[in-house]
Structure 1
Amino acid sequence: MNSKEKKQKGAIFIYLLIFVAIFAMIMPAVVSNFVAKLLLLKLTIMREQAFQIAEAGIDYYQWHLIKFPDDYQDGTGQSGPYAHDYVDYDTQQTIGQFSLTITPPPYGGGAATIQSTGWTNDNPNIKRIVTATYGFPSLASYALLAHDWIYAWSTEAYSGPVHSDTGIRFEATTTSSVTSSVQTTYTTDCNQEYPERSCPTTSTKNAVWATGSNGSESSPYWSNPTTVADFAGVNTAFSDIQSNSQINLPLSNKLGYSLVFNGNGTVTVYKVLRTMNTGSRFPVIKALSGGTDTGLGYIIGGTDYASGICSNSSCNGCGSSGRCLQYTTAVPSEGLRIYVKENLWIDGTVKGRVIVAAADSSALNTNPNANGTASNLMPNIYISNNIRYSNGENGASGQAADTLGLMAQGNIIVTKNAPNTLYVDGALLAQHGFVAAPICYSGGSSHGGSVAPPTSAVYFYGSVILYGSWWFNFTNYCGSSFTDGYYNPFFKWDTNLLYYPPPFFPASSVSAGIQLEKWTSN
């Protein structure tokens, strides 16, 4: 071997040493990275398996709630958590477990929260948590829901679904759906179920229609026919409220009761002694009491209670006072349920969860007949001033939110002396009657004078539900050409009412089934 070949072999050996050295330096990092990726992949697989097991726990309890909608103890009658084996479908082997923690809805209904924690038997320390909230939707699923015909004026505005079982002339503005459960409707106000004001056999239109400029903008939101609104659960709701009420007011032997919410989580109860602004009337589409329909219905008695408060709870010696003080009570943390069998006046600032029902099972009629004669009238609820939530529209949500339900067997009426700019927060329900600001008081005067000024407005935040007619804006009634009521009604649906309504507020159709309201995972 000559010196040249020795030099070449030496150079190769040096290169080999350099390569081995570089390989020795790089390879551990490569191997370590590869091992780390394998471990990460294995961890990802284990986490995914744990997640699927946790998700199976949610699916299981959704099925359980469909079969047993009032069971929040997994059929055990005991407090949780509730552990279940998870059996692999392909191998039929138990490969893991899930544990359920169930938070039932607030007393009187709402949404339930299910937390499912899943893990595999091979890696029990690797856990995944899935949380889901389920509930049956309440009837307060709309900004405005009516069984009867709706005429939405051009000065009205809606933020939330609107529905009528009979038909809608919708000249208003909206950002949400406008639906009717029928294909066609009549072009004029008429009575489809009672003979006093019969409907024409011709002159029909599509169930949702308009003639004004707002129609082209709102028409993309129109839809019909859709399902019929479900009022079947309302009777049960009244019964449940009465059975579970903390305050069941006895007959006052006066004109009814006044409830004032004080904004600090309390409510003050008064008896109403004297009223004013009598002889009020309202347009009638559906009069349950019979008689010759003149196109106007009547309200017996005054819509407003007189001024002055008497502190004598027996109401003796109260003179000309409009009300006498009974007591003040707190709204419990689980909510307050109030039941009364006669007329009720409401105002104030609500803090907490409250339901108020005015109903009398012996009453037969929503309105007096056309002569103004009273006969077995259903109780009304009168809104005499602003009704607000203490935490406002942008406060807490879910179970922590303020919520108010006003349920009248008869009508819900805004009184003549209510503010010219009125705010009403809550879910309003008139089971057999209307929701309205009446017109044509004694002497021909209207709300706010002879004309409702263009600046007058009523702001509804919540849901308005009624079987009869909706009237807050009138023209050409009482023999003169004036507009009465509130010139600008605004409706904003409180979406929190869908799954977190007031206690014992009626649910929507059971056929809608339990629905997923919220879903999260870690």
Structure 2
Amino acid sequence: MSFQLQASSFDMKIIIHTLSHSSQPVARSSERGVTTLLAVGFMGVLMLVVGTISSYVFQQSKYGRALFAREQALSIAESGLEYYKWFLARTPGATQTGAGLVSPYTYTVSDPEGGTLGSAEVTATAALQCGRTQWIDIASKGTANADTRFPRTISARYMRPSVAEYSYIVGENVFAGSDRTIRGPYHTNGGVRMDATHNSDVTSAVQTWNCTSNYGCNPAQPTAPGVVGNGSNPIFWSYPVTSISFDTISVDLANLQGYAQSGGGLYFGPASGDPNSRGYHLVFNSGGTVTVYRVTSTTGVWGYSTPTGWQMEYNIIAGETLVGTYAIPASCGVVFVEDRVWVEGTVQGKVLVAAATPTDGSTSPDALLKGNILYASNDGTNGLTVVAERNILFPLNAPETMEIHGIFVAQSGRYGHNYYVTSGSTQVPSQYDSYVIKTQLTTVGTVVSRLRTGTAWSSGGSTVAGFASRNDFYDRVLAFSPPPFTSVASADYGLQLWREQ
């Protein structure tokens, strides 16, 4: 029994001894397996990283090519616009009646190194009033050959700069007093004494001028700089700059008469009776109509202006008869009055009112701003331009607090409010005493006057006639879409309202 135990012990020792000797090659094999697994894992991670980087590089390359194609497409679209601008400059019929427009037109852009870079498809539409071109809207869609999936479209308006881009354009020396707030560019072909609060360019076409006490300079400055004064933001003052020609600004009144008579507009011939007691009174209505009255009598009062001195004027309506109510033609928004005209009301649509006698050189009618002039909405769909052959004036009985919207052009005369007094030989009738000094005038739009403007008269720092406070705000919404046949500030056409669609 003991012999078997020893033998068993011996056998176990042998087995243990054998196992102990065989464990070394198994460990080395396990280490090689772990190493292999690590290598495989590392290679997998490396391949994942390399794959990710490669994918990123590939995507960035695609993005770069797409970005390049997009930028190239924009340049091609710009080339299309510039080409069509060149084409229009050589196609006068397009800017007159829209004749000769080629739309759509494909313009191919060549590669300086050979071949083509892409093409621009250009479309053009003329905005017509009374059969005449007001402006031409152009859209250019550029596509690059590098990748046609990324076209880009830009648009612009081909037109001449409108006077509506300014708050004021004056042909002579002028004074803007401290009671005024002006927003928008202010230009004069003479010198300007600027004491107003202002937030935009103030420009004068002269280097120096004689600023006297009539312009607020006390003592006088015989060689005052083109722009002088105590107004705000003098950093925006510039002089001398190029003058704005009133020959360019002046619209052809005979043409306007023709458009009204035969082009689809509204025409009203000379009223009968004494020229001092006649004319037409236009009241605009928010429904897109205008009610017209024939003025049959007026009240005379003494008024003073710098160009004429004291004169008996007949600008207050005393009697009138109804002519009718008319829809403002959408296709020819011109109302031509061959006589004086009084204007007020709420304008819907875009319309030009002209007061002129083109075939009668002995008379030059005025336009009179009788009451408030508003727009049915201020979103750019409504607008008014008033053109007078001579003056645009405020009658004595205009509202004490007044608001007017529009573009007001006094082609040969002035824009203003005359001087009145309540005592002495030239006093106004007593029922009009309260109208001599008015509270406030707010103008939203543009004033263009060949002669010096003036809507307030002061003495010793106090207002003695006209409006005691004045706000002048240019209408930037109408600057690039004014009413038909609005005066232009330059005869040169250009691209306005450049934008990407």
Q: TM-score, normalised to structure 1's length?
A: 0.79
Separation in structure 2 between the aligned mates of residue 151 and residue 77 of structure 1, nearest angstrom: 47
Q: 1:402 aligns with which of 382, 388, 392?
A: 382
Aligned-pair distance for 1:209?
2.5
| Conserved 8 A contact 2:301-2:428 | no
Letter in 1 for 2:203: T
Aligned-pair distance for 1:136?
1.4
| Conserved 8 A contact 1:84-1:98 | yes
Distance change in 2, residues 1:451/1:482 (3 Å): farther
Letter in 1 for 2:457: F
Aligned-pair distance for 1:415?
1.1
Deviation string 1:402-440 (CA, Å, 9 cap, x unpaired) is: 111100011111111111001111010111111122233
Q: 2:232 aligns with which of 217, 220, 226?
A: 217
Q: 2:465 aligns with which of 479, 484, 500?
A: 484
Separation in structure 1 between the aligned mates of residue 175 and residue 99 of structure 2, nearest angstrom: 52
Q: 2:204 aligns with which of 175, 180, 183?
A: 180
Aligned-pair distance for 1:493?
0.9
Instruction: Give the match for residue 164 of structure 1.
Output: 188
Separation in structure 1 between the aligned mates of residue 155 and residue 406 of structure 2, nearest angstrom: 29
Instruction: Give the match for residue 35 of structure 2.
Output: 12
Aligned-pair distance for 1:280?
3.1
Deviation string 1:74-126 (CA, Å, 9 cap, x unpaired) is: x99366221222221221x1342211122323535554332111224464444
Aligned-pair distance for 1:329?
1.3
| Conserved 8 A contact 1:147-1:468 | yes
SS at match of 2:83: helix
| Conserved 8 A contact 2:203-2:237 | yes
Q: 2:489 aligns with which of 498, 508, 520?
A: 508
| Conserved 8 A contact 2:70-2:152 | yes
Q: 2:292 aligns with which of 249, 262, 269?
A: 269
Separation in structure 1 between the aligned mates of residue 500 and residue 458 of structure 2, nearest angstrom: 51
**Is 1:423–2:446 an aligned residue pair?**
no
Greater relative CO (CA pairs within 8 A, separation 6+)? 1
**Is 1:259–2:242 an aligned residue pair?**
no
Aligned-pair distance for 1:486?
0.9
Instruction: Give the match for residue 495 of structure 1.
Output: 476
Separation in structure 2 between the aligned mates of residue 357 and residue 130 of structure 1, nearest angstrom: 36
**Is 1:388–2:374 an aligned residue pair?**
yes
| Conserved 8 A contact 1:420-1:448 | no
SS at match of 1:498: coil
Gapped runs of 5+ residues in structure 1?
A: 192-200, 288-295, 307-321, 365-375
Separation in structure 2 between the aligned mates of residue 76 and residue 433 of structure 1, nearest angstrom: 36
Letter in 1 for 2:473: K
SS at match of 2:256: helix
| Conserved 8 A contact 2:254-2:358 | no
Which structure has more helix as a fraction of its residues?
2
Letter in 1 for 2:224: K
Separation in structure 2 between the aligned mates of residue 264 and residue 424 of structure 1, nearest angstrom: 18
Q: 2:123 aligns with which of 91, 94, 101?
A: 101
Which structure has more strand as a fraction of its residues?
2
Aligned-pair distance for 1:138?
1.2
Gapped runs of 5+ residues in structure 2?
A: 1-21
Instruction: Give the match for residue 144 of structure 1.
Output: 168
Q: Which moved more, 1:382-391 or 1:244-253?
A: 244-253
| Conserved 8 A contact 1:384-1:418 | yes
Aligned-pair distance for 1:451?
7.7
Separation in structure 2 between the aligned mates of residue 22 and residue 171 of structure 1, nearest angstrom: 76
Aligned-pair distance for 1:63?
2.6
Distance change in 2, residues 1:22/1:208 (3 Å): closer
| Conserved 8 A contact 1:136-1:499 | no
| Conserved 8 A contact 1:452-1:487 | no
**Is 1:281–2:303 an aligned residue pair?**
yes
Instruction: Give the match for residue 445 of structure 1.
Output: 428
| Conserved 8 A contact 1:109-1:501 | no
SS at match of 1:444: coil
Distance change in 2, residues 1:515/1:153 (3 Å): same
Separation in structure 2 between the aligned mates of residue 50 and residue 223 of structure 1, nearest angstrom: 39
**Is 1:230–2:262 an aligned residue pair?**
no
Q: Which moved more, 1:382-391 or 1:153-162?
A: 153-162
Q: Provide the identity percentage.
A: 27
| Conserved 8 A contact 2:420-2:436 | no
| Conserved 8 A contact 2:342-2:370 | yes
Aligned residues: 458
Separation in structure 1 between the aligned mates of residue 285 and residue 79 of structure 2, nearest angstrom: 47
Aligned-pair distance for 1:340?
1.8
Q: TM-score, normalised to structure 2's length?
A: 0.82
Distance change in 2, residues 1:451/1:269 (3 Å): closer
Aligned-pair distance for 1:262?
0.7
Distance change in 2, residues 1:217/1:21 (3 Å): closer
Separation in structure 2 between the aligned mates of residue 38 and residue 482 of structure 1, nearest angstrom: 72
SS at match of 2:164: coil
Letter in 2 for 1:460: T
Distance change in 2, residues 1:22/1:225 (3 Å): closer
Distance change in 2, residues 1:250/1:98 (3 Å): same
Instruction: Give the match for residue 133 of structure 1.
Output: 157
Distance change in 2, residues 1:490/1:109 (3 Å): farther
Question: What is the aligned-residue RMSD (CA, Å)?
Answer: 3.2
SS at match of 1:499: coil
Instruction: Give the match for residue 108 of structure 2.
Output: 85
Aligned-pair distance for 1:237?
3.4
Matches within 5 A, 1:38-53: 38-53=61-76
